[in-house]
């Protein structure tokens, strides 16, 4: 009996680990694809195209794997991993994991990444704090919401194609 319970517990924990791993993979894939649906200002199209990840090694690893050897236009795609908010440097895109507490650190993150950065988060209410794209789980499905007002403040233009894929758009 104890052996059966242990097997069931192990199977359930493996399922939740696998499910989280899949969720992280999808978030990385979406984040990498978002860049094609954004109108970037001229200043963002020079040098390397940097995607930063705050406090999510798994998403950073997926991004590195998916972007290896790829370019965005003429720019090399570079993935930088930040363990703390204090480590953040200038990026065109920053993915902020829920463990980084975006609500508390929104102003610091915005200042560190630069004016024209696409801020992608995974925390309820993050678009109210300055995130441009926020991942949410609705009806057990991974979705994302967009704040056009925050995008406008960052001088980024969201394409209508990206808007049609979003679960919510705030003005």
pLDDT at 144 over 90: yes
Label residue 18 by pLDDT band (50, 70, 90): very low
Structural domains of the chain ordered from first start? 2-170 (3.40.50.2300)
Structure tokens at 76: 């090399």
Helix locations, 68-126, DSSP H: 102-113
For 140: left if phi > 0, alpha if psi spans -120 to 50, otherwise beta; the answer is: left
pLDDT of res. 140: 86
The C-alpha torsion from 63 through 64 and 69 to 71, rounded to 10°, is 40
The 10s digit of each residue's pLDDT in 38-62 is 999 998 999 999 999 999 999 999 9
Q: Please name which of 46, 69, 33 lies closest in space to residue 116, comparing C-alpha atoms.
A: 46
87: tokens are: 């480590």
């Amino acid at each position: 009996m104890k052996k059966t319970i242990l097997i069931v517990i192990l199977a359930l924990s493996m399922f939740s680990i696998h499910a989280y791993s899949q969720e992280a993979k999808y978030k990385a894939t979406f984040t990498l694809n978002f860049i094609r649906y954004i109108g970037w200002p001229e200043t963002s199209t020079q040098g390397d195209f940097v995607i930063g990840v705050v406090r999510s090694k798994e998403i950073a690893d997926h991004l590195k794997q998916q972007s290896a050897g790829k370019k965005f236009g003429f720019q090399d795609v570079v993935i930088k991993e930040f363990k703390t908010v204090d480590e953040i440097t200038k990026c065109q895109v920053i993915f902020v994991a829920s463990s980084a507490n975006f609500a508390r650190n929104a102003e610091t993150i915005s200042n560190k990444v630069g004016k024209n950065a696409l801020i992608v988060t995974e925390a309820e209410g993050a678009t109210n704090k300055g995130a441009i794209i926020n991942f949410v789980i609705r009806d057990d499905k991974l979705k994302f919401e967009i704040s056009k007002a925050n995008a406008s403040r960052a001088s980024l233009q969201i394409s209508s194609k990206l808007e049609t894929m979003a679960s919510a758009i705030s003005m």
